Amino acid sequence: MSYPPQQPPYGQQPYPPQGQPYPPQGQPYPPQGQPYPPQGQQQYQQAYQQTQAAMQMPPQGQFGAPLPQAAGGAGPTVHDVNSLPVNDNVNPYAFSVDLNGSYYLQKGKMIAYYGEIRFSGIGRGVIDQMLERNFNSPLHASDWVVAEGRGKLLLADRAFDLNSYDLENGNLTVRSGNLLAFEPTLQLKQSIIPGFLTLIGTGKFVAASNGPVHFVEPPIRVDPQALVGWADCPAPCHHYDHSYMHGLIGGLRHLTGLGGASGEEHQFEFIGAGQVLLQSTETLMAERSVGQVHAEAGVPGSGVPHQPGGHGGQQLPNVNVPGLGNVNLGDLGRRFGF
């Protein structure tokens, strides 16, 4: 299992951020008194010294604030088919795939490409055979597209952060809305946890997140909205802040908000060895349908094809008190000890 957490989150070759014509973060505006095309290049470049250390440095002065003499009248980083990175990020929000063969991607995430590439919906002809190999459930396959051919393909998703990950004979479970593209050497399976997909095998995949992704090792408890996915460790369980939610006082607090609810009484708990992927905001990405499971006894989520919000199974099982109706009283009854 290679899941190198020490790897920079945007892939092995950091994109050259100093090439962007906008002022980098941390220094949102050019220093006062200077004309807009900032002359303070030195400062900007210093801000990125750490990231630059590991990568091959373009000659200084080639990047930085756009020079008035720039050829073609353009900003400094001009990519063409040869200079685009190979299977790596162009910037935090766009990923370049060096396509030679096929690649699976979510519908509508291509922004541009060079070369001869065909996009075909999954589920017909030759592709049907690939489908059999790579998707366990044909039911969600219509959200995916096969890109076939040769060329450089740029992917992006509503300006969310993109990261690529390498799996080596491993498995990783990811929230369905976050998975953007993957190599056909990987198999995509529907997780038994509603709203999650599992990738198994060896290969590269691209996932989107709202803000950069952090890798943490279990044991850890995470906020449900910050969870992007996990690799290798056992599937998480729910954890509730027991003392805060327990008993009559806890129930009243929960229902009325009196005494204050912190909003953090519920977490996902991870144990074992592996990696947990967290995003740095609590804004969820829109969930993709992962397909319906067969309604069958013992299958979690069956009969509940799509649970909005992404944290399926968050409610405690309802144990209804006979004669009291069905108005969430099971939960209440437990709380108040009826």
Partner 1 sequence: MAGDSVKARNGTMVAYTGQMNFKKMSGGGDGLRGMVTRRLTGEQMEVMEVKGQGTCYFADRATEVNLVRLNGETLYVESDNLLCTEATLHTGTSFTGLNGMASGNGLFTTKVEGHGWAALTSKGPAIILRVSQGMPLRVDPGAYVAHTGNLNRNLKSGAGWTTLIGEGGGEAMQVEFSGEGLVYVQPSEKMTFGGDV
Smallest distance, partner 1 to C-beta of residue 221, A:
32
Looking at beta carbons only, is 157 or 331 nearer to partner 1? 157
Smallest distance, Å, CB 288 to partner 1?
Answer: 13
Tell me the C-alpha distance between 236 and 267, whole Å: 10
Per the document, the length of the chain is 338
Please give the span between the terminal C-alpha atoms of the chain, in angstroms, as a whole number: 49
C-beta separation of 223 from 270 below 8 A: no
Pick between residue 54 and residue 74 the one whose CB is nearest to partner 1.
Answer: 74
Secondary structure element (H or E) that encloses residue 253, with its range:
helix 247-256
C-alpha 87/C-alpha 319 separation (Å) is 51
Q: How far is the CB of 166 from partner 1 (least distance, A)?
A: 22
Residue with tokens 């685009």: 84
Closest CB 98 distance from partner 1, rounded Å: 15
The residue (of 209 and 267) whose beta carbon lies closer to partner 1 is 209
Between strands 213-216 and 275-279, the pairing is: antiparallel
Q: Which is nearer to partner 1, 118 or 242 (CB)?
A: 118
CB of 336 to partner 1, least distance (A): 47
* CB closer to partner 1 out of 149 and 305: 149
**How many Å apart are CA 146 and CA 190, to the nearest integer?**
18
Q: Which positions touch partner 1 (CB under 8 A)?
A: 20-22, 29, 32-37, 66, 68, 70, 72-75, 77-81, 84, 90-91, 93-94, 106-108, 110-114, 117-124, 142, 145-146, 154, 156-159, 162
Residue 173: burial class (beta carbons within 10 Å; 0-12, 13-18, 19+): buried
